[in-house]
Amino acid sequence: MQLGTYRNPEPRAAPSIDALVDEGMQIVESGVKLAVKNQAILWVLRDNADFDHEQYLDATRDQLLASAAESAADADRTADQLAQPGEEDRYLNAAEPGRLERRLDVLLGLVARIHELIDDESYLAGLSLQARDAAWDEIGTAVIVAALHLGTGLERPTGDDRDWAIAQVRFDLEEMEARARLEAYGG
């Protein structure tokens, strides 16, 4: 049986620095939303705090600044590697020329992009609200699961049973909300 002959793939152009910075921003934004979501859960459950838009904006801004500082520190280390390459750096640069230069350009681009966005209130508000919504989704799911467990006295449902039970509770809550709206508006 003939499997064929291996051929090296065609060389592909490296992604642009801007494309890599865009990907880096997606990673930064995911990390920021996760950190702010976790902080929001603490505010609600530990501190019994209500939603404070400014608090969320500040937390989002702080997380972005921390990401910028981390990328700046990585850029400094990369610049040091470029100035005084070690044996491994020389080997890797021979295999992939310009690797460290591109890494430095991406890190500096990421720092610059974050600093451009740090004062953009609508950008910060968008990240903040996504983090808040994720926090409330997580809290709501935990409340629903706890209510199912307490209300039935049964073992906690798992897998498909859990998903079905949560869907039923959500359906009931939506139905109750719709009835309450009808009653409130004279329906």
Residue 155: its pLDDT value, please?
Answer: 64
pLDDT over 80 at 130, yes or no: yes
Domain regions of the chain by residue span: 17-135
User: What is the rounded CA–CA span in Å between residue 95 and residue 82?
Assistant: 15
- How confident is the model over 88-101, as a mean pLDDT? 76
Residue 126: its pLDDT value, please?
Answer: 96
Mean pLDDT of the chain: 86
Output 175 or 10, whichever has higher pLDDT: 10
- How confident is the model over 52-59, as a mean pLDDT? 92
Residue 154: its pLDDT value, please?
Answer: 57
| Buried residues in 64-98 as b, exposed as e (16+ CB within 10 A) | beebbeebeebbeebeebeeeeeeeeeeebeeeee
For residue 93, the one-letter residue type is N
Residue 167: its pLDDT value, please?
Answer: 76
Non-local CB neighbours of 100 within 8 Å, separated by 6+ positions: 78, 81, 82, 85, 89, 93
User: What is the rounded CA–CA span in Å between residue 126 and residue 141?
Assistant: 23
The sign of the torsion formed by the CA atoms of 180, 183, 185, 187 equals positive
DSSP 96: S
Residue 184: its pLDDT value, please?
Answer: 66
- How confident is the model over 118-127, as a mean pLDDT? 95
Contact 37, 138 (CB under 8 A): yes
Residue 121: its pLDDT value, please?
Answer: 94
Is residue 102 packed enough to be buried (19+ CB in 10 Å), middle (13-18) or exposed (0-12)? Answer: middle
User: What is the rounded CA–CA span in Å between residue 14 and residue 20?
Assistant: 10
| Lookup: tokens for 174 | 């939506």
| Tens of pLDDT, residues 140-167 | 887 777 776 665 555 666 777 777 777 7
User: What is the rounded CA–CA span in Å between residue 114 and residue 27?
Assistant: 12
| Tens of pLDDT, residues 7-43 | 888 888 889 999 999 999 999 999 999 999 999 989 8
Contact 101, 10 (CB under 8 A): no
Output 91 or 106, whichever has higher pLDDT: 106
Residue 58: its pLDDT value, please?
Answer: 96
Residue 151: its pLDDT value, please?
Answer: 57
Output 101 or 169, whichever has higher pLDDT: 101
Residue with tokens 């295999």, as numbered in its chain: 95
